[in-house]
Amino acid sequence: MISHLCVRHLAVVDDLEIDFSSGMTSLTGETGAGKSILVDALGLVLGDRADSNMIRYGHDRAEIEAHFDISLNHGLQQWLIEQELDDDGQCYLRRTISRDTPSRGYINGRAVPLTQLRVVSEHSIDIHGQHAHQSLIRPDTQRHLLDTVAGTKPLLAELSVAYKQWQVLKHDIAEQERQSAQSAAQLNLLQYQVSELAPLNLSEDYVESLIHNQQKLAHASQLIAAAQSGLYQLVDQEQGSAYSIVTHALSELAELADIEPKFTNIIEALNSTVVQIDESTSELRHYLDSTELDPQLLEEVESELSALHQLARKHHIEVETLPAHYQGLCDQLAQLTDREQKQSALQTQLLSQEVLCRELCEKIRHQRQKAAPKLAKKISNTIQELAIPGGRLEFVIKPMSEENFNETGYDRIQLLVSTNPGQAVGELGKVASGGELARISLAIQVVTAGTRSVPTLVFDEVDVGIGGGIAEMVGQHLRHLAATQQVICITHLPQVAAQAHQQVQVTKKQLKDTTFIELLTLTEAQRVEEIARMLGGVKITDTTRSHAQEMLAQSA
């Protein structure tokens, strides 16, 4: 629960602090005294959007601090630990609003994003504003009301995740279909091109070998002539062959080697030359034995090479790059084929995800249908106590059109009401008057408050438009809630204020050219005076005071 609130330089607030106790606290004061500013400040420190115009005139910064007793709030304790924001079981929030820089939030002295302040709010406080009843006519508010009591929050969280995954799959499939439509012609072309090239042995080694063989066969006569000429010059001519010249020189030098040692190296080199001539001669003879003119083979090779050149020109590439081009076409075809397979797999996943979503929707519907009659009966009983004697509510749960669903389920939930005996139920916004709508909203808040896990409930003038015995009944309901939760209520009704365990008076004062508000936690005697003021007119009489004392005594 909240134990302390400090507000500085916010609107008409200069510097004020207030301590809250457990049970029910009422904040009272004249109209326009600034009671709702405290609720605004509480909202700001819990992450509401801030505006620099909220800063008090003459100051550059507003600051709000709030202390919470979380000794029994195990959910918030665990969250603080998980976020590494815990501080010996303390929860201290601070929010600063500056004119020239973005507002900042702090938890236990550590700067945090405003989203984390809002998480603390979800774990700690429900604030019901003055105009909360106006949102009650919206379908999403009515659905949220039923879900709060039906306990569907875990299932809805699970459905939200599953529904988002389902939407992602739908988007992916749509994108795949769009790409498939665009690539259908490309797929057909690739299939034709690959089937045209596939029968050919388009490996890089094969194409290179084919080009080489063509050149070899085309120049076979020149190659044979060159080999024969080489063989002739090396060994076959009778006089002047390279072999005879070298061996003759070698013989003469060898005879004189004993006389001239320097001939030794030359003799070794000539011996090596003789060996190389022998080897070359052997290779040339082998080449000539294995090589012959083959016009038919040349024609076959040139025909095949011509076909490859023709295909290369068709694809606007060189014949040498045809193998790489063919591999690229195969890769593209594989990607497009894989896309088709992926699309089929995505369709399977989509169907599976939809089954999961609908199973969750069915569980949510079951819990809603189970909770709806009980909740409607409780609210009906309560509004009958609030001067709508024939009041009756019904929750109508219908499926969405065409069996659709979303992250809230596949139900259309409508809250129907009858405000007079014998009157058929109708749409809330059309049947109930403004005053009746406010009382119905208050009844709903009272009935459902106990189902919420947050330890603190704040009601900001939600009792506007009621009075007399009805107001007393409202006060009794709020005091009953305060047995299990901290209740803070801003009210103009003495019947409600008298039910509180603690009462704080808000006063607006003027000093010279400045306006500010003060808070005073009232003693028992001061409460009598304040309740009497709320009961009476300009002048407070002994009778009014006596009535105030009686109201306080009855509430004790």
Domain that holds residue 97: 1-130+461-522
Helix axis angle, 204-218 to 295-314, nearest 10°? 130
126 and 239 inside one domain: no
120 and 189 inside one domain: no
Q: Indicate the residue among 275, 303, 337 that finishes a domain.
A: 337
53 and 189 inside one domain: no
Strand spans (E) along 432-476: 456-460
212 and 95 inside one domain: no
| DSSP 3-state of 374 | helix
pLDDT at residue number 236: 66
Q: What is the DSSP string of 219-283?
A: THHHHHHHHHHHHIIIIISSSS-HHHHHHHHHHHHHHTTTT-TTHHHHHHHHHHHHHHHHHHHHH
111 and 232 inside one domain: no
CA distance 87 to 92: 9
Q: Indicate the residue among 319, 337, 355 that finishes a domain.
A: 337
54 and 193 inside one domain: no
Structural domain count of the chain: 2
User: By the 8 A CB rule, do 485 and 458 touch?
Assistant: no
CA distance 499 to 556: 8
DSSP conformational letter for 419? -
194 and 332 inside one domain: yes
**CA proximity to 475, closest of 494, 456, 460, 458:** 494
Distance between start and end Cα atoms, the chain: 22
Residues of the chain under the 50 pLDDT cut: none
pLDDT at residue number 260: 77
User: By the 8 A CB rule, do 371 and 149 touch?
Assistant: yes
User: By the 8 A CB rule, do 117 and 105 touch?
Assistant: yes
Looking at the domain assignment, is residue 416 inside a domain?
A: no
CA distance 443 to 383: 6
CA distance 355 to 154: 18
Question: For 52-98, what is each residue's pLDDT tens digit?
Answer: 888 998 899 999 999 999 988 888 999 999 999 998 888 999 999 99
pLDDT at residue number 359: 95
99 and 13 inside one domain: yes
Looking at the domain assignment, is residue 210 inside a domain?
A: yes
Helix/strand/coil (H, E, C) string of 484-536?
Answer: CCEEEEECCCHHHHCCCCEEEEEEEEEECCEEEEEEEECCHHHHHHHHHHHHC
Question: For 325-382, what is each residue's pLDDT tens digit?
Answer: 777 777 777 776 666 677 788 889 999 999 999 999 999 999 999 999 999 999 999 8
pLDDT at residue number 350: 92
197 and 104 inside one domain: no
Looking at the domain assignment, is residue 144 inside a domain?
A: no
**H or E element at residue 69:** strand 61-69
Residue type for position 135? S
Looking at the domain assignment, is residue 198 inside a domain?
A: yes
Question: For 439-467, what is each residue's pLDDT tens digit?
Answer: 788 788 778 876 766 889 888 877 776 77
Cβ neighbours of residue 27 closer than 8 Å, sequence gap 6 or more? 35, 38, 488, 489, 490, 491, 503, 504, 505, 506
Looking at the domain assignment, is residue 246 inside a domain?
A: yes
CA distance 363 to 401: 19
Establish how many alpha carbons lie within 13 A of residue 341's alpha carbon, considering only the half-sphere containing its beta carbon: 6
pLDDT at residue number 213: 63
Looking at the domain assignment, is residue 467 inside a domain?
A: yes
Looking at the domain assignment, is residue 126 inside a domain?
A: yes
CATH code of residue 494: 3.40.50.300
Tokens representing 205 are 């080694």
Looking at the domain assignment, is residue 172 inside a domain?
A: no
222 and 110 inside one domain: no
192 and 331 inside one domain: yes
CA distance 271 to 282: 17
Q: Indicate the residue among 337, 372, 396 that finishes a domain.
A: 337
99 and 199 inside one domain: no
User: By the 8 A CB rule, do 147 and 376 touch?
Assistant: no
pLDDT at residue number 259: 79
Q: In whole angstroms, how far apart are CA 535 and each of 36, 85, 478?
A: 21, 47, 20
**H or E element at residue 17:** strand 13-19
Tokens representing 249 are 């020189």
